[in-house]
Amino acid sequence: MEKIVKLQLALFFQNNVSRPDTLMNSINSAMGNLFDAMPHILPIPPEAPAEIPRVQMRSECNKYNCNIACSRIDFILNGDFRDEVNWPELTRDFLAKVKVFVESIFGQTNIIRFGLIGNFFMPDKSASVSMTKKYLKVDLNSAEEINLRFNKKTSSHGLQLNNITSINTAIAAFNGVPEAGIFIELDINNTPTEEPIKKEIFLQLIDKQMPSFSPDKVKGLVK
């Protein structure tokens, strides 16, 4: 049975924000103090890469995270390896939080690129065999590690999209017990636009793309 690791939305600013910490309070207020744990503001020098988070917020229950860098902001819902039967509940929760998150961010700065990311784990004692049968014609059944990555380009709502799939054999620990399996990352992102993305179009796009992360779609990549 598929395990849900996390869902993530990344938004990339049109112009770098010199003080990411100034966004922190308004975002948390808009989201009803969702990030109720003590935030971390990291003393990173201005010359450091813009994609390094300067602010890290999280909920006390560790289910929700928000990282703010000079060039991007990320909202993360941790699935904590919950079974796929929880997918409908997690999806509703994620989309509800994302809509408020997007309303807040788009009201403060322009966005030219996004990334919608899902991480999943499929327990499989014969992970190498499963991946070889699905994708490869060479005999790699005894391989200890196999990594695959491919990108299918599409377009939607006036945006050029990358649909990146990464699949690799992996070991995950459940209650301290390691379990072999297959780690899958799905990353839908767009080629940066010259004009800011419109909020209404973006929310429609997210709703349209979420079914691509469903358990049936994910399992179909390795079975």
Report if residue 221 sits inside a domain.
no
**Cβ count near 166 (within 10 Å):** 15
- Residue 216 covered by a domain: no
Query: How much is the average pLDDT of 193-222?
Result: 95
Range of the domain at 70: 3-209
Q: What is the band of 49 on the pLDDT scale with cuts at 50, 70, 90?
A: very high
The CB-side HSE value for 135 (13 A sphere, CA atoms) comes to 17
181 within a domain of the structure (yes/no): yes
Residue at 223 is within a domain? no
Percent of the chain residues topping a pLDDT of 70: 97
Q: Work out how many domains the chain is built from and give that number.
A: 1
Q: What integer is the mean pLDDT of 18-26? A: 95
In 3D space, the residue among 97, 66, 94 whose CA is nearest the CA of residue 82 turns out to be: 94
Q: Please enumerate in sequence order all residues whose Cβ is within 8 A of that of 191, keeping only pairs 6 or more positions apart, or say none.
A: 113, 159, 160, 161, 162
Has residue 59 been placed in a domain? yes
pTM of this structure = 0.93
